[in-house]
Chains A and B, each alone.
Chain A
């Protein structure tokens, strides 16, 4: 069986499973392929338009492939006050992409996130699953070096 079938089988066919299913697919493929959206619509007996509406509404879901490592810069209030904007600028320069984009080789995606809930350590950056606190703007290279 292909992985998409497995994912679809893992949840009951109720309309409320739409978001959880899309999250599973996103986690597996790092994006939502068109055929997956069609398959989900068919399984849950929902119009494709509604699946598309949900897929484009939530920021955790994406129609374009994300990089292997997602770098999330926290832009919460505390992080903003301590210079998250400068940090984003230096990460953009280091990766050669703009916020929200993925590097051409598909290795990194740079994103901002509203608050990671670790405000005492502002500014905070998440590289993959690892959280880094008190990141000085100048350490962008160092931070990425750890994962590259």
Chain B
């Protein structure tokens, strides 16, 4: 059935909301982490088990797939409504207990919800400390169902805008909200909308950037896979505001499921008359196509992305003219990150005032971060901009692993930087991060503990960037491999005097002369680690010593018998039996048999096994 006007859509929503709802429901998380951990097998097992109990035809009972629920390292997650139980690390074998205990008897299965005081998912600190405007509904919605989206006030903003607002009003609301682009740069979205609306031209395009290339970041992925309609609705509103009739969503090659879910959502929206010709009977035509990338990091850069859609190699163009005037096929183009688009319906519906009530000065709204690395709870976290790094790492993330200390937090992907422990109270927003030498990027926050070598981290990112440099401009093409060579020498014990200074010089040259944003920021990992962890560089350079015990051959493990409590963990993990002992108490390390793998350093919770210079 096609909706031919806004009233029909609202009537349908009214019916959906008032329809007697499924009372008992299991939401199996369909986010990327849970699927990789075997979520689909759990879903199948639960459905089979429900069939056994004769529940499958029961209208008050349902097992359904949801979007990403957020606590990815405890997956596969299963949430039980209406109780609010959140089961973690569920295996297909647990299906019987969940169906019998919870679905039939209404009791919690304790072994599947470890360490929760009240056994309710929303009581966990991980969820309680977040503000989930974009992600909240994802956990209660099947990403492949349009009805679920409509029920959660989906396409309400679109219906409202088409019936009541002029294109200038829509654009005006976005401008007034001071929304900043979520893709990395933080450019004010409203300025782009205005420029694009006013740009002369018959044909205009809207684009969504879903080429989430930053390693360690997957929030765009879960948005595309968990709530695809919110991106589509945002884009339709954008197209209405600037007068575009065609849109593209550029999705990264590594995300085939995102492509499938977006295409499914587009088909459903088209069937209902929410997309395509004459949207909601308003006379406005607009359609969207999904373009799958070819596996190149640089395509996340705006002009490279446009080249790629046009069917060329994805190398960046020189930007003399903004793409809001001459972008895709030289037409005015409005390009935004998928998360920026997903914010648009909320702003139209709840108004710029509501949006400006969240977050900090000039950095309004919430942002989804992927909190990963050496923290106890890793997953996707949505917080107001301006929350401190500490609130992410300690409150939501639950702090470092037992016995470890947070050493640094890396933000912004390969173009970002590493911030030390002393920056824990820094607010996470576009301006403060940039000032401290990192950047917001698309929102990856990677926590590193004291076993991480900062020179190795710089080497890792530089190696990544060497592989992804498109090769068009000389500074990026030539300087990065040289820098990588020096970093490899530092990590391999072949460093020479002056290497650190050379790195600084080349980095500064690269930042000043590269052609595109990616090249200009390519030295950030090196510069920020040198800025905050210069000691470690000097140790690698002068003493050939790695204090983190990461660079093989640059340290020897040592057991501090004063600190040792005699738990025997190091003895158990040592692959060569190099830990000398009397009883369970380690006495030292036989350096002749030790291969310096670092296993004992990782295993020790009391910091008794440490790295020291060799010899």
Binding site for B on A (CB under 8 A): 14-20, 22-23, 44, 46, 50, 53-54, 57-61, 75-81, 113-122, 124, 131-133
* B448 on interface, CB distance cutoff 8 Å: yes
B367-402 interface (Cβ within 8 A of A)? 370, 372-374, 378-379
For chain B, the count of residues having a C-beta within 8 Å of the partner chain is 50
Are B216 and A23 closer than 8 Å at their CB atoms?
no
- Which chain B positions have C-beta within 8 A of A58? 253, 293-296, 313-314
- Which chain B positions have C-beta within 8 A of A131? 35-36
B80-130 interface (Cβ within 8 A of A)? none
Are A57 and B215 closer than 8 Å at their CB atoms?
no
Known contacts A81-B374, A118-B33; is A113 also within 8 Å of B452 by CB?
A: no
**What are 12 pairs between A and B in contact, CB < 8 Å?**
A50-B312, A57-B296, A60-B293, A60-B295, A77-B216, A81-B448, A114-B468, A116-B254, A117-B32, A118-B218, A119-B216, A133-B36
- Lowest 4 A-B CB distances belong to which pairs? A58-B294, A120-B72, A76-B215, A117-B218
Residue of A nearest to B374 (CB): A81
- Which chain B positions have C-beta within 8 A of A18? 311-312
* B213 on interface, CB distance cutoff 8 Å: yes
Known contacts A59-B294, A131-B36; is A121 also within 8 Å of B75 by CB?
A: yes
Number of A-B residue pairs having CB atoms within 8 Å of each other in the complex: 136
Q: Please, what's the 1-or-0 string for B483-513, where 1 marks a CB less than 8 Å from any CB in chain A?
A: 0000000000000000000000000000000
B205 to chain A, nearest CB (A): 12
- Which chain A positions have C-beta within 8 A of B446? 77-78, 81
- Which chain B positions have C-beta within 8 A of A22? 294
A56 to chain B, nearest CB (A): 8
B285-325 interface (Cβ within 8 A of A)? 291-297, 308-315
Residue of A nearest to B218 (CB): A117
Known contacts A19-B308, A77-B460, A81-B446; is A117 also within 8 Å of B296 by CB?
A: no
- Which chain A positions have C-beta within 8 A of B410? 77
B214-267 interface (Cβ within 8 A of A)? 214-218, 221, 253-255
Residue of B nearest to A51 (CB): B311
Known contacts A58-B296, A77-B444, A133-B37; is A117 also within 8 Å of B372 by CB?
A: no
Are A119 and B370 closer than 8 Å at their CB atoms?
yes
B223 to chain A, nearest CB (A): 11
Known contacts A118-B36, A118-B72; is A78 also within 8 Å of B296 by CB?
A: no
| Contact for A16 among B215, B296, B310, B379, CB less than 8 A | B310
Compute how far the CA of A131 lies from the CA of B292 in the bound complex, rounded to whole angstroms.
Answer: 20
- Which chain B positions have C-beta within 8 A of A120? 33, 72-73, 75, 372, 378-379
Are A16 and B311 closer than 8 Å at their CB atoms?
yes
